[in-house]
Amino acid sequence: MIFTDKNISPKDITPKNVFEARREIIKVAAAGSFGLAFAPWFSRDAFGASTQLLSATPNSSYGKNIESTPYKSVTTYNNFYEFGTDKSDPSTYAGSLVTRPWTVTVEGLVKKPATFDIDDLLKLAPMEERIYRLRCVEGWSMVVPWDGYSLSKLLNKVEPLGSAKFVEFISLADSKQMPGVRGSVIDWPYREGLRLDEAMNPLTLLTFGLYGEALPKQNGAPVRIVVPWKYGFKSAKSIVKIRLTDQMPKTSWNTFDSHEYGFYSNVNPLVDHPRWSQATERRIGDPKGIFAPKIKTEMFNGYGEYVASMYAGMDLKKYY
């Protein structure tokens, strides 16, 4: 074994069995007088679908002074139609998803098309934990510590050609693993897309985990993207293929109803969804539940300083 810190000797390293027993310690502590201090960790243990820890360096640049949504809420209130249309369906049925082996193919207008094993992707670039807001068209929002690295790290690896203008994401669609795929809510597989500059923006996160642990299956395991300035459905889950193209790709919800779901889908409080106002939102996990006060929605979900320049001169009511 190699020790990189000369001030640490082998006898100072926590034994593996003690480290792995930490969850039992937490459970006992949660029942005691200082249990409240451990409550967030205990909640993660009780409701998590994965115990694989990720090594990610905290990056507070984008989530200053924002309180994260409780882990239980993040993992039990989801949109993931491959497992059903109810918000609780993914956490109920996603246990059938097999996440190993798993590969992601990157193809199209790239110099070096390749197929990556998920474990190779995990090691492709240093991982960060970023606290991002997630805003959905129905009016609810969350604040989640996501673990991953900028999607640009992967795209640079395959070297996009000068003719590439868009990036398409294709999710797994396997009716044996995903009961929702047996229905006809949308035309499977699920497809999403970004302009190339949006995909290369440092905020666009190739995501492998949340709260320092591997993604639970109901949250898009084993790999998804998170695009924090767009509505949640733009952040494709359980990705199996990424394709670069010179044409704007047809995306699932835009194809289903282009009047309700535009290709860009930037968070914009001035452009209402036909069935919901986008001016305010309600934070999932608030102890007050449906009586929680509504929060004013920010343009670009509050990330305008990082992304607004990409849309300079565009009519954002027309290109919604």
**Side chain identity at 208, as an amino acid letter?**
F
Query: Shortest CA distance to 102 belongs to which of 199, 239, 243?
Result: 239
- pLDDT for res 120: 98
Angle, vertex CA 25, rays to CA 23 and CA 30, nearest 5: 95
Residues 6 or more apart whose CB falls under 8 angstroms from that of 34 comprise none
Sign of CA dihedral 269, 271, 273, 274: positive
SS (H, E, C) the chain: CCCCCCCCCHHHCCCHHHHHCHHHHHHHHHCCCCHHHHHHHHHHHHHCCCCCECCCEEEHHHCCCCCCCCHHHHHHCCCCHHHCCCCCHHHHHHHHCCCCCCEEEEEECECCCEEEEHHHHHCCCCCEEEEEEEECCCCEEEEEEEEEEEHHHHHHHHCECCCCCEEEEEECCCCCCCHHHHCCCCCCCCEEEEEHHHHHCCCCEEEEEECCEECCHHHCCCCEEECCCECHHHCCCCEEEEEEECCCCCCHHHHHCCCCCCCCCECCCCCCECCECCCEEEECCCCCHHHCCCEECCHHHHCHHHHHHHHCCCCCCCCC
In this structure, whether the domain defined by 53-309 belongs to CATH 3.90.420.10 is answered with: yes
**Side chain identity at 183, as an amino acid letter?**
G
CATH 3.90.420.10 residue ranges of the chain are 53-309
The span from the CA of 123 to the CA of 153, in Å, is 11
Residue carrying the six token digits 């009586």: 291
- pLDDT for res 159: 98
Average pLDDT by stretches of 10, the chain with 320 residues: 31 35 37 36 45 90 85 97 97 97 98 98 97 96 97 98 98 97 94 98 98 98 98 98 98 95 97 94 89 93 97 96
Prediction pTM value: 0.85
CA 195 centroid distance within chain:
18
What pLDDT, in 10s, does the model give residues 4-48? 333 333 333 333 343 334 334 333 333 333 333 333 444 444 444
The span from the CA of 18 to the CA of 24, in Å, is 10
Contact call for residues 155 and 124 (beta carbons, < 8 A): no
197-209 b/e (C-beta count within 10 Å ≥ 16 → b): ebbbbebbbbbbb
